[in-house]
Amino acid sequence: MPKTFYWRGVLVPFITPWSAEAAPSPPVVVRHGIGGTGLGYPDEDPRADRWNDALWARLPATRGVGVPNFAGIHALRQRQAMRRELCQVCGGPTFGTLPDERTLYLLGARDSDPIREGETTQAPPVHADCARLAIRECPHLRRGWAAALVQYAPAWGVAGIPYDPKTLTALPGPAGAPDGLVEVPYTDEARMRWVLAAREIVRLHGVQAVTDLAALSEACTTTHWRPSVH
Ligand SMILES: [Zn+2]
């Protein structure tokens, strides 16, 4: 069963990176592949390093080792959570935990404006119980959050580090962008070739705002497991 991690009494979400995971991604090279030229690794493993043609950052996955970096997001656990509909707080599966097979999303850092139909997000799903726990314990959510039940959330693109095709140096992201990352849709194949992906982005469809998470928890099916605390 997935564990809810705590560090010195503070909740550490599944997608939070730890200090032992802080190694830089290895240098990239120019790769001439199917469909064009773009970034690659000299020893690239297409099954591990590429998803939907995007090249992903490589980093260790040693959850729970060292000190958590609450300001960061672990690229590979974030992607895993998006792809498998895992809870961003505890890492457990969210599919089937709500009565009508919808999925709950919780977005922070907003001034009580609701989640919009068709909005894109880098935040993976969350359990109703874990959403309540996170709102209680995570400072950035105490400052404002919005939640919604979502019918489906197809992959939209990635957020990543843009590279100069001529010099292969990392370029700054757009001003004000979270973590300095540029967002690129999967439909933009030309730009996707020169971005090192660090977040999966999905688009939210069939959105219904949720303001009463306690009532939603009560409505969860009896087969819904509750996170164990360690
Ligand atoms: Zn959870």
Residue ranges per domain, the chain? 11-156+202-223
The string of pLDDT tens digits covering residues 112-150 is 689 999 999 999 999 999 999 999 888 888 888 999 999
* Predicted confidence band of residue 230 (pLDDT cuts 50, 70, 90): very low
Nearest-angstrom CA–CA distance, 193 and 203: 21
CB 17 within 8 A of CB 64: no
Report the separation in Å between the CA atom of 70 and the middle of ligand 1, taken as the mean of its atom positions: 17
* Predicted confidence band of residue 84 (pLDDT cuts 50, 70, 90): very high
Q: Which residues 6+ apart lie within 8 Å of 198 measured at CB?
A: 56, 57, 73, 75, 158, 159, 160, 161, 179, 181
Report the separation in Å between the CA atom of 177 and the middle of ligand 1, taken as the mean of its atom positions: 27
CB 22 within 8 A of CB 69: yes
Res 224 pLDDT > 70? no
188 or 220, greater pLDDT: 188
Report the separation in Å between the CA atom of 136 and the middle of ligand 1, taken as the mean of its atom positions: 14
CB 2 within 8 A of CB 90: yes
Q: Count the neighbouring beta carbons within 10 Å of the beta carbon of residue 12.
A: 22
Instruction: Tell me how many helices (H) and strands (E) the chain has.
Output: 6, 14
The residues whose Cβ lies within 5 A of ligand 1, an ion, are: 87, 89-90, 92, 127, 130
Report the separation in Å between the CA atom of 98 and the middle of ligand 1, taken as the mean of its atom positions: 12
Q: Count the neighbouring beta carbons within 10 Å of the beta carbon of residue 216.
A: 20
Report the separation in Å between the CA atom of 34 and the middle of ligand 1, taken as the mean of its atom positions: 39
Tokens 């690229």 — which residue? 75
